[in-house]
Amino acid sequence: SQQGEEDPQALSIQEGENATMNCSYKTSINNLQWYRQNSGRGLVHLILIRSNEREKHSGRLRVTLDTSKKSSSLLITASRAADTASYFCATDADDNDMRFGAGTRLTVKP
Amino acid sequence: NAGVTQTPKFQVLKTGQSMTLQCAQDMNHEYMSWYRQDPGMGLRLIHYSVGAGITDQGEVPNGYNVSRSTTEDFPLRLLSAAPSQTSVYFCASSYGGGPEAFFGQGTRLTVV
């Protein structure tokens, strides 16, 4: 079954605004990753945060992880039209199987 | 550097037909996997392999077979296609089982 669940399912913002997506999961994890999927394309790895980390930055991306709440958030600052895509969290537990959520569809309007 | 290559990109099958989805990677990754993506369900793991000659089942293996005779190739076989197998299929690979996975562009399969 799915491990991660993203919230919201869909998000529409104006260019320049910040976008925040959340991911909740059910079991203990080794790490959590965020992926982006442009329409009709494969997934592209964005960022990984390990279970002993609380926050990580990469360019305009900021990821937080709260293992006590089993949740993570992805913040995209100063969004651009090119950020329009679906975003997925994926959790990696001891079974080495990555489990994906259903994704958040982000639309950034120019 | 091609990364992960999937063929075909699109396929229409009739119920009961069989076919093989091809996946090849040129990164010498040990770990390869197949996912299916359905609307509102995210990606679900079908089968995976931790190295040549080793395969294992994922979350939704029924109706699919895999083999791993070489490090580079990991084909997915549909033995008798059913409409429920209409989906987009993604192959992924990673070094040593993770954590960062590299995905192919996907195969959109329709079973009528």
What's the pLDDT tens digit per position in B58-75?
Answer: 989 999 999 999 999 999
User: Diameter of chain B by CA atoms?
Assistant: 38
**A97 contacts in B (CB within 8 Å)?**
45, 48, 58-59
pLDDT of residue A94: 65
Residue A98 and residue B45: Cβ atoms within 8 Å?
yes
Over residues A44-73, mean pLDDT? 96
A110 upstream amide cis, omega within 30 of 0: no
What number of H helices and E strands is found in chain B?
A: 0, 11
pLDDT band at A17, cuts 50/70/90?
Answer: very high
**A41 contacts in B (CB within 8 Å)?**
105-106
- Mutate which of A98, A99, A100, A105 to test chain B, going by most B C-beta atoms within 10 A? A98
Residue A44 and residue B42: Cβ atoms within 8 Å?
no
Give the mean pLDDT of chain B.
93
- Reported as a single tens digit per residue, the pLDDT across A47-56 is 999 999 999 9
pLDDT at A1 over 60: no
d(CA A78, CA A17): 5
- Whether chain B has a CB inside 8 Å of the CB on A17: the answer is no
* Secondary structure (DSSP) of B22-76: EEEESS--SEEEEEEEETTTEEEEEEEEEETTEEEE-SS-TTEEE--SSSSB--E
pLDDT band at A93, cuts 50/70/90?
Answer: confident
> Are A11 and A2 in contact, with CB atoms under 8 Å apart?
no
> Are A31 and A38 in contact, with CB atoms under 8 Å apart?
no
d(CA B112, CA B98): 36
